[in-house]
Structure 1
Amino acid sequence: MNRLFTRSELAAERGPAIRLLLGSVAETAPVLVSGYAVSKALDGGFLAHRPAVGFCWLLFALAALALRVLANAYSVRYQAEVSEAIRHLATVKVVTAAVSGAVANGGARTRHDVVAKLVSQVESLRRLAGALLISGLNATLSLVSAMAGLALLNVTAFVLCLPLTIGAVALLRWQVRPLAAVNDRVLGTDETLSRLTGAVTESLRDVLAAGATERAKRDLHGAVADNASVLRDLARSGVARGLVVAVGGYGPLLLVLLLAPSLTSAGTLSAGGVVGLVTYVNAGLVPGLRALSQSASSTAAPLGAAMRRLSSWSTAGGAPVAATGVRVPRRGDVRLEDAGFGYRPDAAPVLYGLTLDIPYGTHLAVVGTSGAGKSTVAHLIAGLLRPTTGSVTLGGVPLAELDSSRLRKEIAVVPQEPYIFAGQVRENLRYLAPGADDEQVWRAVHAVGATETVTRLGGLDAEISRQGLAPGEQQILVMARTYLSEASVIILDEATSNVAPDVEETAEAAFRERPGTLLVIAHRISSALRADSILVIDASATTAGSHDHLMAVSPRYAELVGNWDPEAEPAATAGGGGSVPTAV
């Protein structure tokens, strides 16, 4: 079944499946005998003035109906066994793939779309498989029984009706492919909505603290709109189902009625045979095609889509084949390739055509006037914004293809308004490194210059709240938290705006000595002078290079340096060494 289950797994359920098939064949017995019994009841009974014979044939048809009731009860039992077995096998595969994917991803938490797979897709698989085993199988057998009855009753009528029935089945088959594509899109948007909803819910405190509620609402609204659009396409795709019934069901009925006078006058068809043919069409062909068409659109197509997605997901170890798969970057090199960003399609872009290489281990400062796009660059590199043009990669892997948990482990951002929650100092500092011991925590505190703040608060066991801290204290605590994390790329987005220049220098020196890449959105030129290289964000010319190079080629940078008052800050010297990023 679409490679989701192996032959050995399916063979274990062969017994119930065979008994289900036998029960379904018995259920279609009334269709097979209906037209023939009615024809014989008329021709050999009532029209021949032998009512007893007519009633016997009608009782025979009634007995077939009684058999159908008994066979239905028998079939439902084994249909439940087979569909529950399918759900069990699919659940085992999803859970196994999720655990394997998490282990392969270094213990990172599994994505939220696993919930969609267990709650939605696996349950849909069970429900749809059960429906297909009953309605789809019965519809197919009813269609076959009706055509067999037509051949038994009158070969000429069978030959006339067969092309229309084959045409209807071919039309139905032609409709299944686009239906499957639409159902694939439905499942994809369901997963996206589930993943995004889970991520926003899990990070709700961070969203509120960072003032990102509008962006979260915009992302969720877009996912809901995409899902609704696909569901509308799915609803429209079922309009053509009536054409199948018209061609293969009512077409033969119309043909029989039009040809009945000539067939009866030629002795090819009796009066009872005409009624019998109409019975086969109304009791077998029309209901069978209608049920088969309904099963194909509402059962078989979504069932195939669910199986394809579960199959590709499970065989990839919990990572779908699509662009949301779990990929691990080779190392922390960051590259922006012709990256641009605009908040609205009709608005001027904040950033346009930026190509920037940031080798692993680089200390880069980003400077520019207010509103030039410094924070936009930081958010693009952090994956908090997606470029509207171009791409951003980490270790050669586009950020859009990185699992969100992996991305958050690799890149950490310290914003200008950091997030402190009510609780112990220790809990706040270990937020990104829950396994760190007190010795590691204190080491991070000393490194970034937060010792005085932690001591004043009463040590690691002290209870704190955001309201009880000065803005600078909040910033220095969050820098200690970030220093303690596993992130290979640290972004300080004006994260030291409320601390003294000497504390800022201490914190930046700590991050510089820490393994990894440091990106500083600088609000003081002294921060830029300590960096390996400087990126100047300017609408006219975005340029990267050393201090001396930029003083010679960038009027904007020269202006920023000219407006800086070095007497107001401790003396600082330009940093040297390390890999230097290049910008175009």
Structure 2
Amino acid sequence: MSRRRRRLSGGRVLAGAVRRRPREATLLAVWSAVEAAPVLVFGRSVAGATDAFLTHRTGTGLAWLAALAVAAAAGAVGSAAAYRPLAGIVEPLRDALVRQVVRGAVHEAVRTGRPGDAAVARLTQHVEIVRDTFAGLLVVIRGFVFTLASALIGLSALLPVTLLLVVPPVALGLGLFLGMVSRAMARQRDLILAEERIAGSSTALATGLRDIVACGAEDARSAKIGRLIDAQAAAARSVARIAAGRTIALAVGGRLPLLAIVAAAPWLLRHGATPGAVLGALTYVLQGLTPALHTAIRGLGGSGLRLAVTLGRLIETGEVPAVPRPAGGGGDLRLSRVTFAYGPDAEPVIDDLSLTVPDGDHLAIVGPSGIGKSTLALLVAGLLTPSRGTVFLGGTPASQVAPEFRALIPQEAYVFGGTLRDNLGYLRADTAPPGDAELDAAADAVGLTALAERLGGYDARIDPATLSAGERQLVALTRTYLSPARLVLLDEATCHLDAAAEERAEAAFAARPGSLIVIAHRMTSARRARRVLMLDGTRAWLGGHEDLLTRCEPYRDLHGHWAADGSEPAQVAGDANGDRSQPARVAGRANGDRSEPARVAGDADGVDPVARAYLPDDARHVVPDGADRQEEVIRDLGG
């Protein structure tokens, strides 16, 4: 990515942070205009008071000074009130950056097998730099714009001819400053990279100190760290030299207008200007224009450049996505010969799996506990990287897809302290927050309406500890329903809801634009899905519910086990009477024998319920015996 592209991307991120908060941006502009009121009336009040006192009109002079005092009080109110909308713009950007950096660090750790040392510097330094300097930059920009506008409006009303003496040098000073920006950004970027290298090398040095001493490599490591420190010092000196050039721009834009008015004062007095008007014009330059220009050049040239480069660095490392959705291919999910194991010597949890989920599909994933369903969801979400094979979302590798494109809801839903509105709009941080009408529609679709009313509405503050597990799941489901995610993965995200509530939530997501993948814990989820993926640890079957009942014996066993457990009524293809209260039957069986429901160990049907040692709470897991009638024991299930 070129430097120009990084600057443009960083600018879009910052501009987007303002656009996504239109109410706060409007309030900030209004209060900034109020804050600039003293500048607007300063020169005029000084001119009026001076001329009044020179002509012995004391009352008039005092009235002008009183007007200035009122404007100063209004400016103080505006200055204090501007900080609340300012925080409303800055803090959401900071929160989004933290999420992106943490996500990038997790991806780096999964990819390399070790923590991302440079990511520590980006999280502890660079995110805070962006937060603080973005706030300062907004203060500087709005101050410069409104102060400069107030000063020029005041000059045009008081002594219009002075604009010819003021505007050209101001424009020249700003032009000189802008000409230095490109070079200054390059030097600032060198400094940022030097800081990251020192952070990464220092962490490696600390963690490997014993090995370094044992190998006698102290001098070599010391020399390497020394070179990095020297490089950082050189970059800092270069940044300082660039900063010195800003003094020239300040002198041209801030001092030349003052000298021009002083030099032209005799001519102005001869052509009808009063002493008070000349003094008022000087006041506008000294108290309005020059301070605003000084603050703008110092702020933009210092913290502003640091902000642009730091944000560009975050974009460059992939932690602030420059592309909001996959590059092409719509929203299709494609897995090509994906294999994943938790360690180089471990047996694969997912082995050579190929799968295509078209955009808009509804897929249920079923199988015994511990078979790899949640692992597959993490691979699709880009939180795990395959040992072999590829996972693509819309033609883009899953690990590189913008996080806004997909949402994974785990079994334990997360709800944070705050208002219900804050919780539901959390995944809309980068877009316009949902209004009440949109919240009502989402709550009605997912089934949150009753809970929202009981809590006291969307603006009621909630304590997560007072919510049940099912209520937390409803909040998380509605939050995801309102998100821009095109792909939604429900990893047993409805397990604490009753069957009717689960059906309502799944129906809402199935009708929502995009794709839905459900890690099912009830067989009804598989029946509702358009397609079902059955995993049993040896192979994968893909098809519709009725199709799998016909040709997939493990799926029939799983379906029959659910029915025998009492949690699911069983009905399969070929059951002519269609009576859901009847036992499960298999297509083609005239006698309607049960399809291997779970029974007592040693039972004649050859199906023995066995509890895995590491899943003691999964009483419904069953292992069918083979033809040799050999019973499975707990030690056989360790893998």
Instruction: Name the TM-score, length of structure 1 as normaliser.
Output: 0.51
Aligned counterpart in structure 1 of residue 32 of structure 2, from 12, 24, 49:
24
Aligned counterpart in structure 2 of residue 266 of structure 1, from 265, 271, 287:
271
- Residues 409-420 of structure 1: pairs in structure 2 closer than 5 A: none
Match of 1:168 in 2: 173
**Which amino acid in the other structure matches residue 87 of structure 2?**
A
Aligned residues: 314
State how far apart, in whole Å, the 2-side matches of 1:124 and 1:54 are.
48
Match of 1:13 in 2: 21
Q: Give the conservation status (yes or no) of the 8 Å contact 1:97–1:317.
A: no
Match of 1:60 in 2: 67
Match of 1:3 in 2: 9
Match of 1:85 in 2: 92
Aligned counterpart in structure 2 of residue 197 of structure 1, from 182, 197, 202:
202
State how far apart, in whole Å, the 1-side matches of 2:154 and 2:189 are.
38
Deviation at 1:26, TM superposition (A): 1.4
Q: Give the conservation status (yes or no) of the 8 Å contact 1:100–1:317.
A: no
State how far apart, in whole Å, the 2-side matches of 1:22 and 1:96 are.
37
Q: Say whether residues 1:231 and 2:239 are aligned partners.
A: no
**Which amino acid in the other structure matches residue 9 of structure 2?**
R
Deviation at 1:139, TM superposition (A): 2.8
Q: Deviations over 1:91-135 (max 9, x none)?
A: 1111122223444x2x62242100010011101001111111223
Instruction: Name the TM-score, length of structure 2 as normaliser.
Output: 0.47
Deviation at 1:317, TM superposition (A): 8.2
Q: Give the conservation status (yes or no) of the 8 Å contact 1:182–1:230.
A: yes
State how far apart, in whole Å, the 1-side matches of 2:99 and 2:128 are.
13
Q: Give the conservation status (yes or no) of the 8 Å contact 2:101–2:319.
A: no
Q: Give the conservation status (yes or no) of the 8 Å contact 2:315–2:321.
A: no
Match of 1:302 in 2: 306
> Residue 130 of structure 2: SS of its match in structure 1?
helix
Q: Give the conservation status (yes or no) of the 8 Å contact 1:101–1:317.
A: no
Structure 1 gap segments, 5+ residues each = 319-584
Match of 1:48 in 2: 55
Cα 1:317–1:176 change in 2 (3 A) is closer
Aligned counterpart in structure 2 of residue 184 of structure 1, from 186, 189, 198:
189
Q: Say whether residues 1:275 and 2:282 are aligned partners.
A: no
State how far apart, in whole Å, the 2-side matches of 1:232 and 1:137 are.
30
Q: Deviations over 1:311-346 (max 9, x none)?
A: 12125989xxxxxxxxxxxxxxxxxxxxxxxxxxxx
Cα 1:240–1:66 change in 2 (3 A) is same
Deviation at 1:51, TM superposition (A): 1.4
Cα 1:277–1:84 change in 2 (3 A) is same
> Residue 239 of structure 1: SS of its match in structure 2?
helix
**Which amino acid in the other structure matches residue 41 of structure 2?**
V
**Which amino acid in the other structure matches residue 136 of structure 2?**
A
Deviation at 1:294, TM superposition (A): 0.9
If you compute each CA radius of gyration, which structure gives the higher value, 1 or 2?
1
**Which amino acid in the other structure matches residue 141 of structure 1?**
F
State how far apart, in whole Å, the 1-side matches of 2:175 and 2:259 are.
20
RMSD of aligned residue pairs (Cα, Å): 2.1
- Residues 145-544 of structure 1: pairs in structure 2 closer than 5 A: 145-267=150-272, 269-314=273-318
Q: Deviations over 1:150-209 (max 9, x none)?
A: 112111111222111111111121122222111111101000111111111121122112
Deviation at 1:39, TM superposition (A): 1.3
**Which amino acid in the other structure matches residue 21 of structure 1?**
A
Deviation at 1:6, TM superposition (A): 8.7
Q: Give the conservation status (yes or no) of the 8 Å contact 1:97–1:314.
A: yes
State how far apart, in whole Å, the 1-side matches of 2:48 and 2:237 are.
49
Cα 1:59–1:226 change in 2 (3 A) is same
Q: Give the conservation status (yes or no) of the 8 Å contact 2:314–2:320.
A: no
Aligned counterpart in structure 1 of residue 76 of structure 2, from 54, 66, 69:
69
**Which amino acid in the other structure matches residue 80 of structure 1?**
A
Q: Deviations over 1:212-258 (max 9, x none)?
A: 11111011111111111111122222112222222122211111111
Match of 1:135 in 2: 140
State how far apart, in whole Å, the 2-side matches of 1:210 and 1:15 are.
62
**Which amino acid in the other structure matches residue 97 of structure 2?**
A
Deviation at 1:46, TM superposition (A): 1.9
Cα 1:7–1:239 change in 2 (3 A) is closer
> Mean Cα displacement is larger for which, 55-64 or 93-102?
93-102
Q: Say whether residues 1:100 and 2:104 are aligned partners.
A: no
> Residue 220 of structure 2: SS of its match in structure 1?
helix
Q: Give the conservation status (yes or no) of the 8 Å contact 2:43–2:281.
A: yes
**Which amino acid in the other structure matches residue 260 of structure 1?**
A
State how far apart, in whole Å, the 1-side matches of 2:26 and 2:235 are.
37
Q: Give the conservation status (yes or no) of the 8 Å contact 1:146–1:281.
A: yes
> Residue 36 of structure 1: SS of its match in structure 2?
helix
Deviation at 1:48, TM superposition (A): 3.1
Cα 1:9–1:35 change in 2 (3 A) is closer
Cα 1:147–1:50 change in 2 (3 A) is same
**Which amino acid in the other structure matches residue 303 of structure 2?**
T
State how far apart, in whole Å, the 1-side matches of 2:321 and 2:208 are.
26
State how far apart, in whole Å, the 2-side matches of 1:73 and 1:6 are.
23
Match of 1:33 in 2: 41
Cα 1:56–1:159 change in 2 (3 A) is same
Match of 1:124 in 2: 129
**Which amino acid in the other structure matches residue 239 of structure 2?**
L
Q: Give the conservation status (yes or no) of the 8 Å contact 2:103–2:319.
A: no
Cα 1:139–1:225 change in 2 (3 A) is same
State how far apart, in whole Å, the 2-side matches of 1:47 and 1:129 are.
47
State how far apart, in whole Å, the 2-side matches of 1:202 and 1:240 are.
42
State how far apart, in whole Å, the 1-side matches of 2:17 and 2:147 are.
29
Deviation at 1:2, TM superposition (A): 4.2
Q: Deviations over 1:414-441 (max 9, x none)?
A: xxxxxxxxxxxxxxxxxxxxxxxxxxxx
Deviation at 1:47, TM superposition (A): 2.7
Q: Deviations over 1:50-109 (max 9, x none)?
A: 211111111111111111111111112222332222211111111122223444x2x622
State how far apart, in whole Å, the 2-side matches of 1:208 and 1:293 are.
50
Deviation at 1:283, TM superposition (A): 0.2
